[in-house]
Amino acid sequence: MSLTTIHRRIYSKIQQRLFRGKAILIFGPRQVGKSTLCEFILKETSLSFFILNGDDGDVRSELSETSATRLRSIIGNHKLVFIDEAQRIPNIGLTLKIFVDQLKDVQVIATGSSAFDLANLSNEPLTGRKYEFFLFPPSFGEMVEHHGLLEEKRLIEQRLIFGSYPEIITHPSDAEELLKLLSGSYLYKDLLMLEQIKKPVLLEKVLKALALQLGNEVNYHKLGQLVGADKNTVEKYIDLLQKSYVIFTVPAFNRNLRNELKKGKKIYFYDCGIRNAILGNFNPIVKRTDVGALWENYFLVERMKYQAFRGIDAKFFFWRTTAKQEIDFVEESEGNLTVFECKWSPKAKVRFPLPFTEAYPDARLQTVNIENFEKNLGYDY
């Protein structure tokens, strides 16, 4: 089974935006299939294409300071240009601007596994000149399309342990070995190239501490004491881990109540398998004490994937009071609030805190368990 047999839902969206006078940028974690997706798009067209890789020194040299004439001589008569690992190329934003403004017969597609050097693409020089896409690891919905609802629901326990990276899905017997490789230095290769990361060992300590605190509020000061670093260093490392799409933060939700937490943060991983690999814990569900946190993480990321594909700008929060009443997730989208309480067992009883339901009477209250999971994600199977 090849990776391209797992149909990625954003494929058609990208195809529809080819040759509309804008650069196409595809972001996402390493090894989620960005290059495979782009190569599939290129091969499906009848046009000649040209591939450049930012990992190659001569490519970085040629594209970091260039001109329209120079670019034309590099790509020849090719009409489609794919730049992989674009975040490695200095001044890549200016180079892409030249493609859009001066090589109007050429469609350029660029991928990036970090937001470091690509961050300037959100401002100048590419304002109004780009379509942006974010590629997650394959979603529950994509896998249902691939091999059916029953099979994918049977595999949910495996997803909680080994995650959903394409190579893990297509080579399940090698999952542990592959995840150990992926969660090593390759995972944060971009981070290690930055001057700010002077202590790779500290980075690994921070990652491990975050993995252990999955689903709990993170205090940067206490985390610093735990790993032997000051609060500012920890905060900087966490920010960089977010920009490399390893983790993401969920802030506290507060609107109406005086005793709602105002500044809290929880941290989750884009993939449960990566989180477990960092800890070296691939124990089955029945032997784990962190099933609740993994279930939260898995559901949240799958809901993010679902809303992102629909083009919904959904924001996610957790809710807690100073009296320690709490709710796992509050989703704000299209002017509505939807509340999710995640319980692995269908038998678990859930009571939503009265202060919340009184303060936000219009919020939809959802209990998510293994039996109703797909309905709460939004799928109509």
Confidence of residue 38 (pLDDT cuts 50, 70, 90): very high
Q: What is the pLDDT of residue 234?
A: 93
* Total-model pTM: 0.92
List the one residue out of 193, 221, 223, 222 whose CA is nearest residue 208: 223
Q: What is the mean pLDDT of residues 82-110?
A: 93
Return mean pLDDT, the chain: 91
Interior angle at CA 142, CA 136 and CA 148, nearest 5: 150
Query: Quick one: CA torsion of 174, 177, 180, 183, rounded to 10 degrees?
Result: -30
* Beta strands 326-333 and 336-342, pairing class: antiparallel
Please write the tens of the pLDDT for every residue from 260-287.
888 889 999 999 999 999 999 999 999 9
Contact 77, 104 (CB under 8 A): no
Predicted pLDDT at 306: 96
Provide the residue ranges of all domains of the chain, joining segments of one domain with +.
3-134, 140-377
pLDDT value, residue 240: 86
Distance CA 145, CA 189 (A): 32
Q: Which residue has the higher pLDDT, 103 or 323?
A: 103
Residue 248: pLDDT band with limits 50, 70, 90? very high
Question: What is the third-level CATH fold of 3-134?
Answer: Rossmann fold (3.40.50)
Cβ neighbours of residue 210 closer than 8 Å, sequence gap 6 or more: 218, 223, 238, 241, 247, 267
191: pLDDT strictly greater than 90? no
| Residue 1, pLDDT above cutoff 70 | no
pLDDT-derived band of residue 122, with 50, 70 and 90 as boundaries? Answer: very low
Lowest mean pLDDT of 2-11, 97-106, 320-329, 343-352, name the range: 2-11
